[in-house]
Amino acid sequence: MSQVVVGQRWVSHSESNLGLGMIQSVEGRRMEIYFPAVNESRHYAIDNAPVSRIQYQSGDRISDMDDQVFQVIEAHELNGLMIYLGEDANGEQHQITELHLNCYVQFNAPEKRLLNGQIDSDDSYQLRFDTFAHLDRLQQSPVQGLLGPRVELLPHQLYIAHEVAHRPAPRVLLADEVGLGKTIEAGMIIHQQIVTGRSERVLILVPDSLVHQWLVEMLRRFNLRFALYDKPRFDALQAQPIRDLDNDEEVNPFAMEQFIIASLDGLMESPDMQQHLLVSDWDLLVVDEAHHLRWSEQASGEDYQLVEQVASRSEGVLLLTATPEQAGLDSHFARLRLLDPKRYHDLTAFKAEVAAETDHRELIEALQDTEFSDVERLKSLLPNELHSTLTDSLDESIKQKLLDQLVDQFGNGRVMFRNARSSLDNFPIRSVQSYPMPCPEIYQPEDDDPLNVGIAGLTPEVELVPDVWIKRDPRVEWLEQKLEQLSDEKVLVIAHHASTALALQQHFSRKLAVKCSCFHEGLSLIERDRAAAYFADREEGARVLFCSEIGSEGRNFQFAHHLVLFDLPANPDLVEQRIGRLDRIGQTQTINIHIPYLEGSSQHVLFDWYHKGLNLFEQSFSAGYSVFLRFEASLLEAMTNLTQDRSELIMQTQKVVADIVQQQELGRNKLLELNSCRQPQADELVEQLIENEQHEVLTKYFEGLLEEFGVDYEDHSALSWIVRPSDQMKHSYFPALKEEGTTVTLDRMKALSRDDIEFLSWEHPMVSESMEMLAKSDAGNTSVTTISVKGLKPGTLLLETFYTLESIAPKKLQLSRYVSAKPQRFLIDATGKDLSKVVSHSALNQLSQPLKGKVARQIVAQVKTQVAPMIELSHQLSQTKVADIKSHARSKLNEALNGEIERLRRLRERNSAIREDEITRLEQQIQDCERHIEKAQLQLQGIKLVIAS
């Protein structure tokens, strides 16, 4: 790479929409490039950055900041900057420094390359044409941004991701019940927002224990490289600051990366990090475990206040949280305040609003019943606003339309999505096996206070040294026998205290030679990841993972089918979290829950109450904690006085649980459930994704890309390749290619089962970024071939050209959805006639025969004077299409966005969950897009000379 100097003009290979950039600063081995066209900056490592310097030569056409066009007469370098002498349209000469070049530029000049004898292979030319055709198809696809994630195609997840991610600045709660994949839903939304350009700066705040899990998941599932910001990294960035050339101030460390993951716990311990974070702006903020943020009407916790301030500086917000039933109405309101503080500002009013919600259950059931046909009954159930949709006959299309209108106008799905297990299929069965065993003397000594009663009796071993209780606690001997029985199975063992888990791990690994690992809060984040990874390894990994309570938050082990609850926590929600590590989407077998407990102890009391009272182990029960609070005093009394009769307590609990289950069923927010997954649309998304994968087309195209860039590859297995760097690579950088090689597959299920194989799709960086690199380079933009067709006189010349309408605009405007990248093709003969409608591109391609480079250059030299006028005629013909193309783009823009604006305005009259700023953002987007469409220009992308033989 040439010497990097402030003021030089550079262009990005991977983000062509940024336009011509300017070196803003150089610090050590890093440089900052500012892109005026979109008013954005990027930071790069100088070595192997996907950017290149722009230096014009004599004969090139350039323009300055005032849009004046000059032809370069001569160029020279002074102090690392280019100085150009150019001639304007009046023949006057001007000196232009590269500092004053126009940032809206196009870099390819196929006609010059052709006439100068720079001729590419016909395969490269065809690959270039196909690239623009594929870019157009992908940019117009209704599932853009959903093709790339390495996930199962589950309708409820795809529906939420699509519904949320297509909004300009989504602010929503993801509150699915445990095990339904909120993290994957959030990842898909993030991925789609980034791919479509709606979000360019993303901040993810998570509990300390989940930092590395999110980091790995974002990369493994979504090919998104997030930077982990902790105190050491933050301090290191501050120790070597980068200065802003405009104001000579230090650049905020949080502005140095686009995608950042940070521990909320770590931020709370660093006022300096908080200070810098609170002056940073974000396109999307994601907060996991948001229900742990502390808030009340009287006061809010410092963690809540921090998130509240960050959310106010972020356009979009995703909160991953427990269901409202688990968190409680006050906590639910606190989350809604973070999303829309203007709408949710009064807790009392909110509670009154919830109480006054109309129950549409009977109406929804009628509309979903294929046999229901009573129009008059339906009319009595329908809100007055929907009567106009009703017809004399009830067919399924009318019922579906009424359902959609009901959800849109009366649901709160704009701010919350919550899928329930009861509305989804294919969840595994829970098999509960309990193992009562006598309480040993060590826990009930005659000469001291007993250890087997009260809350302490749930974990009596923590009061004794491990050498004592390990030898005499019957649960340990039982576990030895159980693990021997399950010799070929992965087993997850969860205990409340880290000391218990660690003592068990040491006993089983050292004395019994069981391959096991331990996961507890005393480990560093990296050590926790290693422990979890060792357990996940199917071949050489641990058979058993001993986990403390933190292991029941966020870590997923659905590849295991046996769960041992070595003790029981005094919180039913924690039991559900424990079971949820196995009982979640992706679990393929029955979950075997093993529960040893000591008879005549508080463990026995709590097991009976959980099992017989709450039915907590066999069924997921979201209201368990509220029932626990109701009976807490009685339960604690029973755990203290072990001889008292517990039958009445259990009977009362069963009655309350039955009432709650009935109330939940009657009070289920059917509108919310419908809006969280509208099944017809969700199923259609799955079909569209499968259709858009196009394995056969992508196979041919991908191999063509690798050959074009000089990358080695070999077949690995069906629809799979091993891709490696080679000495013949045209560039030192190829997207997502590791130095040791990368194995990729188009087979989604294979990628899901093999962490060592990446999932290849049209949106994998190896494909998408190399497509952009090729499109913005001159690769394949010239070709010379021969053609032999009966009736076509030898020596006859044909000139195929294709253009695309190019506009440099901020990616978040999504201009490509309206300005098509479809190649505008012409086929000019020597008389100036356009034959493109007579001979298609594919037909011409099949008839064409390649020429050797030397022969092709000789022919071009001989016919240059004939070809130049044909090129000029092609330019003239292309300009006749510009107005129609722009008009079509404006129509498409207004049809899409004005239609959505009108829909939101109508709905907002009856549904206050729709924010006014959603509408104003769309109105602003229309204005900005129209301005950039007006500036768009047709660019010649490829030129092919065909000689009849």
pLDDT at 530: 82
Same domain, 681 and 809: no
Pairing of strands 202-206, 282-287: parallel
For 676-701, the pLDDT digits (tens) are: 888 888 999 999 999 999 999 999 99
Q: Is residue 939 part of a domain?
A: yes
Query: Which tokens in the block code for residue 741?
Result: 């090689």
Same domain, 450 and 559: yes
Same domain, 406 and 448: no
Low-confidence ranges of the chain (pLDDT < 70): 1-2, 13-17, 89, 105-108, 244-248, 325-327, 356-359, 407-413, 423-426, 447, 525, 551-554, 663-670, 910-913
Same domain, 479 and 601: yes
- The whole-model pTM stands at 0.78
Binding residues: 176-183
Q: Which residues are paired to 71 by β-bridges?
A: 61, 87
Q: Is residue 176 part of a domain?
A: yes
DSSP H or E segment with residue 45: strand 40-45
Same domain, 805 and 660: no
Residue from 467, 369, 452, 772 nearest 642 by CA: 452
Q: Is residue 896 part of a domain?
A: yes
**Phi/psi of residue 657, each to 5°?**
-60, -45
pLDDT at 219: 92
CA distance 298 to 303: 15
With beta carbons less than 8 A apart as the criterion, state whether 58 and 73 touch: yes
Same domain, 225 and 115: no
Cβ-in-10-Å burial (0-12, 13-18, 19+) of 370 comes to exposed
pLDDT at 756: 83
pLDDT at 328: 73
- Domains contained in the chain, number: 5
Same domain, 579 and 466: yes
Query: Which tokens in the block code for residue 82?
Result: 């280019």
Residue from 393, 397, 400 nearest 373 by CA: 393
Chain-centroid distance, C-alpha 676: 18
Same domain, 237 and 185: yes
Identify the three-state secondary structure at position 947.
strand
Same domain, 492 and 386: no
Q: Is residue 626 part of a domain?
A: yes
Q: Is residue 491 part of a domain?
A: yes
pLDDT at 53: 85
Identify the three-state secondary structure at position 852.
coil
Same domain, 262 and 396: no
CA distance 754 to 537: 11
Q: Is residue 720 part of a domain?
A: no
Q: Is residue 575 part of a domain?
A: yes
Same domain, 605 and 458: yes
Domain interval for residue 375: 362-411
Same domain, 180 and 287: yes
Q: Is residue 715 part of a domain?
A: no
pLDDT at 91: 72
pLDDT at 762: 98
For 539-574, the pLDDT digits (tens) are: 888 999 999 987 556 577 888 999 999 999 999 988
Binding residues for ATP: 176-183
CA distance 85 to 56: 11
